[in-house]
Structure 1
């Protein structure tokens, strides 16, 4: 059962490294439109990145989306998990290959840490493939470590492993 809350700004990271990656991301964006308030969805550019964690896999296409919602953070998480499953996501290897990965990065200014959800996402500042798309959406977005998304993305991109692909939305 969905719990209605005040309007909240949400940031979601998207990634794909199996099959038709751009198609999977495009379908993911379309699915997110269904949980966003009408007209509120915004998309970053696309980036290609090296895998992190489990390295024996193809590179990823990554992006981020922001939108407004009335759903609770846990309801957003449930919707994201359902979208992943509907798009063929199978969880067999931690950080392994996936058709579509959706990570709830920010849920307004909330800080949530329970067995199901950590928001803000705990590894944002370690990952150029998250920071660069976030910079596209809001370079002034304040991260947990006090940095802004813009400068943090520049620093992360300097370390390599990520390449700008283009703007598709």
Structure 2
């Protein structure tokens, strides 16, 4: 079994429908869904704003590579094209961190494989990941350079303008009776 923190985003097409499709695509694996935020693009490529959210997911049969493969299938189904690094995209599914169960909780998996670097190497720099993550896990911890750091502390270290740029929306990704954060 693994537990994954997934960051999802879209800035092309019907952004909200694409994010809802990702939630539906992970189905019963979803344990929590953050509120939806709108954010400016990250990485310096001129493009439209994103809608972003964070999902907490678990599956007894999945390992970390299964989360990657599942996310990539959802991206392909949404018409994602990887032409420009940090460019516009219909759907982006990033694995922020993945953990395996151990006595008393979970232990974060580590990977330096270029196809699946865990934890995500830049998650601690991205307010659009940290803000919604705290909505679903107020005590979240992220491994940064080999040390577990409270996500709340990482967010406090970011530029205040970047944090302020993660703006709440009235959108929801779950239907009535669905998984709530």
Gaps of 5+ in 1: 1-6
Alpha-carbon distance in structure 1 between the residues aligned to 2:171 and 2:46: 28
Instruction: Report the Cα offset of residue 151 of structure 1.
Output: 3.7
For 1:148, which of 147, 150, 167 is the aligned residue? 150
Partner of 2:116: 117
Matches within 5 A, 1:125-164: 125-145=124-144, 146-156=148-158, 158-160=160-162, 161-164=165-168
Partner of 1:61: 51
Q: What is the aligned length?
A: 159
Is 2:4 the counterpart of 1:10? yes
RMSD of equivalent CA atoms: 1.7
Matches within 5 A, 1:4-83: 7-33=1-27, 36=29, 40-69=30-59, 70-83=61-74
Instruction: Report the Cα offset of residue 162 of structure 1.
Output: 1.7
TM-score, L = length of structure 2 = 0.81
For the residue of structure 2 that corresponds to 1:14, the secondary structure is: strand
Is 2:88 the counterpart of 1:97? yes
Partner of 2:102: none
For the residue of structure 2 that corresponds to 1:41, the secondary structure is: strand
Gaps of 5+ in 2: 100-107, 175-181
TM-score, L = length of structure 1 = 0.87
